[in-house]
Structure 1
Amino acid sequence: MKEIILDTETTGLSVREGHRIVEIGCIEIDDLIPTQNKFHCYLNPERKVSEKALEVHGYTDEFLSTKKKFSEVVDEFLNFIENKRLVIHNAEFDLSHLNNELTLLGKKKLNNENVIDTLALARDKFPGSPTSLDALCKRYRIDNSERTQHTALIDCDLLAKVYINLLDQKEPTLNFKNEENIKAKLNSNVTNQYYKKVIKPTEEELKLHEEYLKSSLKKNFF
């Protein structure tokens, strides 16, 4: 199943205070394996970035003033995520900002029924423990040294790895009817060492295993 790992950066925390999106990052995964499809853009929020937000992502008013407005990328964005499940860390925050932008343009809001919130997953799995993206990277020994500031695509890449760990799926889920497609995806992504290849036993190994089972089952362990 195709899913979209999504992250946004904004001018501030609350849409009620008029804060807007300044960056959107999306990475597509298919059966938990990243594809080559990505969506990324910086946006002109048409307002000033708050001091706290500037400390988080570092995008200045001057830098953002030359970027496209959300209205100029909205159709491309919606086409990219269409009919795909969204995976977001603290989904309430990102959805509130995205739906605010869509409402301003008279567009239909995103449905949160097709959204997985990894923050909720982490809180259920590790009650009482820190569940920030950095904390989860540390728990799963995921290298987040490049995350000196919050940027959407870097956060998406880290979240994809965290998401797989939260599902206890460090290896791609197997659908033996579609094994050749899985092999092709793995081969096309050989630079990504995080996702393991599936290694099948040889005929000799299978034969030895069968002989071992036959000899073991003859023994009475009780």
Structure 2
Amino acid sequence: MRQIVLDTETTGLDPASGDRVIEVAAIELYNFMPTGQQFHVLIDPERDIPEEATRVHGFTAEMLRGKPIFAGIAHEMMAFLRDSEIIAHNAPFDFGFLDAELVRCGMPKLDRARMVDSLDIAKRRYPGLPNSLDALCRRLGVDNSMRTSHNALLDVKLLAEVFLQLMGGKQPGLELNAANRRSGPVLEADEAPVIRTPRPIVPSEAEIAVHAEFVAKKVKDALWLQPPFAEPRAETPG
């Protein structure tokens, strides 16, 4: 199962009022394991960035001048997303901004059926508790000490760890990731697979007798020694 963990940074809070996307970061999960594949781009919003937004993510319009505009990265982004589920924290916010940018480019909106909101998952798991990304990192033991501002690439890596913990705490190494599956050893056509011979453990008659003596001393009227469980004894001729 392929999933994408995604985060965006923007010039403000409302795409309908003209706010734009300035950063998109996404990483690939395969069967709940990071594969190392990622997409990250900084974008020229073609407008100013208010000071209050800069205080959140640290970007100014001057820093992004000369970066590609959204239309220049839209197809590459969609190629990375493919038709996978998209996981985001407060996902309607990110979907709303990306939809506005895609429509501006003449491209279709993202299918909301693909949206997985990790904030909604956290609220259902921890009702009444703070469920910001920072709060979840502290609660779930994810190191976020390097997070001094809202950087989409760092946030998406932290979110991936948080999401995996929310979904049951998958740990690296428990499964092969997609890269391992693609690059793992492959048998040649004339190479025979290794066949392991079963080695059943069969107790000796002496061991069986010792065990029966032990059970007789420790367990009174054992059910497995009573009919119908007990095997019928062979009649001794005489």
TM-score (norm 2): 0.74
Higher helix share: 1
Q: Which amino acid aligns with 1:23?
A: E
Percent identical among aligned pairs is 41
Q: In structure 2, how many angstroms separate the alpha carbons of the residues matched to 1:146 and 1:98?
A: 27
* Runs of 4+ with >2 A deviation: 169-174, 179-185
Q: In structure 2, how many angstroms separate the alpha carbons of the residues matched to 1:147 and 1:127?
A: 25
Aligned counterpart for 2:180 among listed residues 179, 184, 200: 184
Equivalent in the alignment of 2:126: 126
1:139-158 paired onto structure 2 within 5 Å: 139-158=139-158
Pairwise CA RMSD of aligned residues?
2.8
Larger Rg: 2
Q: Which amino acid aligns with 1:129?
A: L
- How far does residue 171 in structure 1 lie from its aligned partner after superposition? 3.1
Q: Secondary structure at the match of 1:25?
A: strand
Equivalent in the alignment of 2:159: 159
Equivalent in the alignment of 2:75: 75
Equivalent in the alignment of 2:15: 15
Change (3 A) 1:180 1:120: closer
Q: In structure 1, how many angstroms separate the alpha carbons of the residues matched to 2:21 and 2:179?
A: 38
1:15-34 paired onto structure 2 within 5 Å: 15-34=15-34
- How far does residue 37 in structure 1 lie from its aligned partner after superposition? 1.0
Change (3 A) 1:132 1:181: closer
Q: Secondary structure at the match of 2:169?
A: coil
Kindly provide the CA deviation profile for residues 32-89 of structure 1, in whole angstroms up to 9, marking residues without a partner as x.
Answer: 1111211000000011111111001111111111100001010000010012110100
Contact kept? 2:2, 2:31, Cα under 8 Å: yes
Contact kept? 1:44, 1:70, Cα under 8 Å: yes
Change (3 A) 1:49 1:136: same
Equivalent in the alignment of 1:44: 44
Q: In structure 1, how many angstroms separate the alpha carbons of the residues matched to 2:115 and 2:172?
A: 21
Q: In structure 2, how many angstroms separate the alpha carbons of the residues matched to 1:116 and 1:42?
A: 24
Change (3 A) 1:173 1:126: farther
Equivalent in the alignment of 2:61: 61
Paired residues, what number? Answer: 192
Change (3 A) 1:173 1:147: same
- How far does residue 173 in structure 1 lie from its aligned partner after superposition? 10
Q: Which amino acid aligns with 1:144?
A: N
Q: Secondary structure at the match of 1:36?
A: strand
Q: In structure 2, how many angstroms separate the alpha carbons of the residues matched to 1:22 and 1:182?
A: 30
Contact kept? 2:30, 2:177, Cα under 8 Å: no
Contact kept? 2:30, 2:178, Cα under 8 Å: no
Contact kept? 2:87, 2:116, Cα under 8 Å: yes
Q: In structure 2, how many angstroms separate the alpha carbons of the residues matched to 1:173 and 1:88?
A: 24
TM-score (norm 1): 0.79
